[in-house]
Amino acid sequence: MNEKQAVDKFGQVIMTELRDKAIDFFELLVEGRWKAPGLQKLQAELQELNNEQIELVRKIVVKSLDTGIHDFLFKLQEQADFENDIEIKVQGIDVIQSSDGLHGELFTKDGWFSTYSKYGESKDE
């Protein structure tokens, strides 16, 4: 595995196991599919919204999630660059040092959003 493959493997995990699962959670809430008692009230409240309102909430959820991921990756990079106290390794390769900016890996047509997330990159409108 080379450095790019290690960085991309890390990105794939972030996209599929964090971003996509969080968005999937929201989609199942909207559909009323969760059976957990703690989610019943929230699902009922979502059912009271019209389609336009649900779409707005969806955009807010995705934008909040994407901002959190971006800021987390930026902080990892910053900590590694200035404090040298954080390492993330994939098969022995330090992905933070192998990237010129983990937070930048998210974007572009070849970025992690486009390549690894089933939801693609959210567009500002």
Place of tokens 């954080």: 86
Instruction: Please compute the mean of the pLDDT values over residues 58-64 and round it to a whole number.
Output: 97
- The total domain count for the chain is 1
- Specify the pTM: 0.91
User: Could you tell me which residues come within 8 angstroms of residue 109 by beta carbon, excluding any fewer than 6 positions away?
Assistant: none
Whether 40 is in a domain gets the answer yes
Cα 37 → chain centroid? 26
**Domain ranges, residue 74:** 3-116
> How many Cα atoms occupy the beta-carbon half-sphere of 67 within 13 Å?
7
Instruction: Please compute the mean of the pLDDT values over residues 46-66 and round it to a whole number.
Output: 97
Whether 106 is in a domain gets the answer yes
Whether 48 is in a domain gets the answer yes
pLDDT at position 46:
95
**Are 42 and 49 in contact, with CB atoms under 8 Å apart?**
no
Length of the chain equals 125
124 pLDDT band (50/70/90 cuts)? Answer: low
Instruction: Please compute the mean of the pLDDT values over residues 31-54 and round it to a whole number.
Output: 94
Whether 125 is in a domain gets the answer no
**What does the buried/exposed string (b/e) look like for 68-85 if buried means 16 or more CB atoms within 10 Å of the residue's CB?**
ebeeebeebbeebeeeee
Whether 124 is in a domain gets the answer no
Place of tokens 């902080």: 75
pLDDT at position 125:
57
Whether 53 is in a domain gets the answer yes
Whether 77 is in a domain gets the answer yes
